[in-house]
């Protein structure tokens, strides 16, 4: 099950040079070093590759037991360990992690089934590309198209006329409703639901009349969607997720939202309907964004913020109150409930004080003083 590379092979595949280990311990050439995994600076053993991304942690280098370290050239003199020199150690680590994962995935495939599992129910009207893997108990309805190399995990459902691009992965028990479109290299984690009805009703005075959701969901390429997340289909037009968008677990995206390319949405955040998020935004965890807003590009919103107005200026935004011991919190919370009165009181005091400190000649405020 173990995957391994020589340091030279990693250097070639990651396109970063090797710097040999320094000192008498390194009598063998670094290129031949066998690396069989990645590990943190604290936990790495002699066959692991580690990385230093944040210079704050550079003191961990002195005790690090790793076989080699991905490091910025400017910091390489802080360690005698063999290094892979990268101007972006964190990105190089990310790419290295994919090498180990890809190899592991190959193992997984050779031990699992390929092609369409006998228990899957695939409509004869569905079109499957080359090297498509359909797991046990999958259901693929009529008119579905699945691109080359895509893998549909056990128990997934793909509704009529949905389109899945090339090299997508759906993990177990994910659901794609009819007519939903996924680009290439999309990853959908277990339990995610794409294309359920948007939440639309017209209240007739007595009851909520359902508005059938006749749009769909259109997801770009290189998108990842976390476990248990849901993206609703549009009422009339489509809900649209741009290229490169990364969505964490348990995120809810309402109907007709438009999320710009390369935006990142952390866990448990929710977008109400018809909200438009720009490109390269970062939405922290647990954020709630009410409907029909527009958020410009490169906006970062901190965790658990409540967004009730459009944002037109890139930047970092927050709401919420800080954690306190509950007794103290309660006093403040009660006072907060009377904050506008407190503010009015302060204005009155200030006005009074301004009068008191004025010279005793006549002025606009004097009439108050005579009361």
Q: Which of 108, 114, 115, 127 binds a copy of itself (CB under 8 A)?
A: 108
Would you say 31 or 95 has its CB closer to a copy of itself? 95
Which stretch, 18-26, 66-74, 99-107, 144-152, contacts a copy of itself (CB under 8 A)? 99-107
Which stretch, 4-12, 26-34, 126-134, 192-200, contacts a copy of itself (CB under 8 A)? 192-200
Radius of gyration of the chain (CA): 29
Q: Which of 21, 171, 257, 275 binds a copy of itself (CB under 8 A)?
A: 171
Measured distance CA(293)–CA(256) in Å, rounded: 12
Q: Which residues pair with 201 in a beta bridge?
A: 210
Task: Tell me the two tokens of residue 215.
Answer: 């749009």
The DSSP bridge pattern shows strands 201-203 and 208-210 to be antiparallel
Helix or strand run (H / E) with residue 283: strand 282-283
Q: Which residues pair with 295 in a beta bridge?
A: 277, 311
Least Å distance between CB 158 and a copy of itself? 9
Q: Which residues pair with 119 in a beta bridge?
A: none
Q: Does 9 bind a copy of itself (CB under 8 A)?
A: no
Q: Does 136 bind a copy of itself (CB under 8 A)?
A: yes
Closest among 228, 253, 229 to 241, alpha carbons compared: 253
Least Å distance between CB 36 and a copy of itself? 11
Q: Which of 69, 76, 266, 277 binds a copy of itself (CB under 8 A)?
A: 266
Q: Which of 64, 70, 81, 235 binds a copy of itself (CB under 8 A)?
A: 235
Q: Which of 27, 312, 328, 361 binds a copy of itself (CB under 8 A)?
A: 328
72 is catalytic: no
Q: Does 267 bind a copy of itself (CB under 8 A)?
A: yes
Measured distance CA(338)–CA(334) in Å, rounded: 7
Q: Which of 343, 363, 365, 366 binds a copy of itself (CB under 8 A)?
A: 343
Would you say 28 or 331 has its CB closer to a copy of itself? 331
Q: Which of 17, 29, 55, 320 binds a copy of itself (CB under 8 A)?
A: 320
Measured distance CA(174)–CA(153) in Å, rounded: 8
Query: What does DSSP assign to residue 179?
Result: T
Q: Does 127 bind a copy of itself (CB under 8 A)?
A: no
Q: Which of 29, 55, 115, 315 binds a copy of itself (CB under 8 A)?
A: 315
Which stretch, 9-17, 54-62, 74-82, 203-211, contacts a copy of itself (CB under 8 A)? 203-211
Total residue count of the chain as it appears in this document: 371
Its sign, for the CA torsion 158, 280, 307, 327, is positive
Q: Does 189 bind a copy of itself (CB under 8 A)?
A: yes
- Helices 326-336, 339-356: inter-axial angle, 10-degree rounding: 70
Cα 114 to Cα 83, 101, 162, 266, distances in angstroms: 39, 18, 22, 33
Least Å distance between CB 95 and a copy of itself? 6
Which one from 189, 255, 292, 368 is the annotated catalytic residue? 255
- Phi/psi at 73 (5° precision): -55, -35
Would you say 28 or 348 has its CB closer to a copy of itself? 348
**Any idea which residue has 């370290």 for tokens?**
69
Give catalytic residue positions.
255
């Amino acid at each position: 099950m173990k995957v391994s590379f020589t340091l030279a092979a990693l250097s070639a595949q990651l396109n970063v040079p090797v710097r040999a280990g320094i000192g008498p311990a390194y009598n063998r050439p670094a290129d031949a070093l066998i690396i069989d995994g990645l590990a943190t600076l604290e936990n790495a053993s002699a066959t692991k590759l580690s990385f230093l991304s944040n210079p704050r942690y550079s003191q961990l280098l002195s005790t690090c037991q790793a076989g080699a370290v991905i490091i910025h050239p400017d910091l390489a003199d802080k360690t005698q360990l063999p290094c892979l020199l990268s101007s972006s150690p964190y990105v190089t680590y990310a790419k290295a992690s994919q090498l180990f994962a890809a190899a592991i995935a190959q193992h997984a495939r050779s031990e699992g089934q390929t092609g369409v599992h006998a228990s899957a129910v695939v409509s004869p009207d569905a079109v499957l590309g080359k090297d498509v893997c359909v797991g046990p108990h999958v259901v693929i309805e009529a008119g579905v198209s699945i691109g080359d190399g895509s893998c549909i995990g056990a128990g997934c459902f793909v509704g009529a006329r949905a389109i899945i691009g090339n090299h997508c992965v759906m993990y177990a028990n994910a659901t794609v409703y009819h007519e939903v479109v996924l680009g290439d290299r999309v990853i959908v984690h277990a339990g995610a639901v794409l294309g359920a009805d948007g939440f639309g009703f017209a209240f007739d005075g007595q009851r909520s009349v359902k508005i059938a959701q006749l749009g769909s969901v259109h997801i770009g390429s290189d998108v990842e969607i976390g476990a248990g997340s849901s993206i609703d289909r549009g009422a009339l037009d489509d809900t649209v997720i741009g290229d490169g968008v990364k969505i964490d677990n348990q995120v809810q995206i309402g109907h007709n939202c438009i999320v710009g390319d390369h935006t990142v949405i952390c866990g448990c955040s929710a977008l109400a309907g018809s909200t438009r998020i720009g490109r390269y935004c970062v939405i922290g965890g647990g954020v709630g964004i009410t409907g029909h807003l527009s958020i410009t590009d490169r906006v970062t919103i901190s965790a658990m913020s409540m967004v009730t107005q459009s944002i037109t200026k890139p930047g970092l935004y927050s709401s919420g109150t800080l954690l306190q011991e509950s007794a103290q919190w309660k006093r403040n919370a009660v006072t907060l409930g009377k904050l506008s009165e407190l503010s009015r009181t302060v204005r009155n005091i200030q006005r009074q004080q301004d009068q008191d400190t004025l010279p005793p000649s006549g002025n606009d405020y004097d009439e108050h003083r005579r009361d």
